[in-house]
């Protein structure tokens, strides 16, 4: 049994209940616990199938693996956070929305 973390966004209450049968919800949408590889795989299949079939929500799975970082990440759905591989290291890329353009002003406030 290994430590498993699942982070979710916009999932149905029913699916959240299914996840909480196996993991503890430590924060809204964040689940943690120890699972066997078989249970982790079956739970992840159920979560990912729901996200795919409903075209809604987001789920991220983190669990130990034989990699340089010692863990692996898998995700389904869309989020402002995207998993990227950078020469073998898994990194998180956050998509920022463009800020509104500020109107030009002739007067600059010195701030003091």
Distance CA 85, CA 40 (A): 23
pTM above 0.85, yes or no: no
Question: Would you say 9 and 58 are in contact if contact means Cβ atoms under 8 Å apart?
Answer: yes
Rounded-to-integer distance, Cα 71 and Cα 74, Å: 10
Q: What is the pLDDT of residue 106?
A: 60
Domain 2-94, classified CATH 3.90.1150.10, yes or no:
no
Q: How would you write the pLDDT of the chain (112 residues) with one tens digit per residue? A: 899 999 999 999 999 999 999 999 999 999 999 999 999 999 999 999 999 888 889 999 999 999 889 999 999 988 888 888 888 888 888 877 776 666 555 666 666 6
């Amino acid at each position: 049994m290994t430590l498993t973390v699942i982070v979710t966004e916009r999932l149905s209450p029913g699916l959240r209940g299914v996840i909480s049968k196996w993991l503890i919800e430590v924060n809204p949408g964040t689940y943690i616990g120890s699972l066997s590889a078989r249970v982790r795989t079956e739970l992840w299949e159920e979560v990912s199938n729901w996200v795919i079939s409903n075209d809604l929500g987001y789920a991220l799975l983190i669990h130990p693996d034989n990699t340089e970082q010692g863990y692996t990440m898998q995700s389904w759905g869309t989020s402002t956070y995207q998993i990227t591989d950078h020469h073998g290291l898994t990194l998180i890329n956050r998509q920022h929305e463009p800020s509104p353009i500020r109107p030009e002003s002739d007067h600059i406030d010195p701030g003091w």
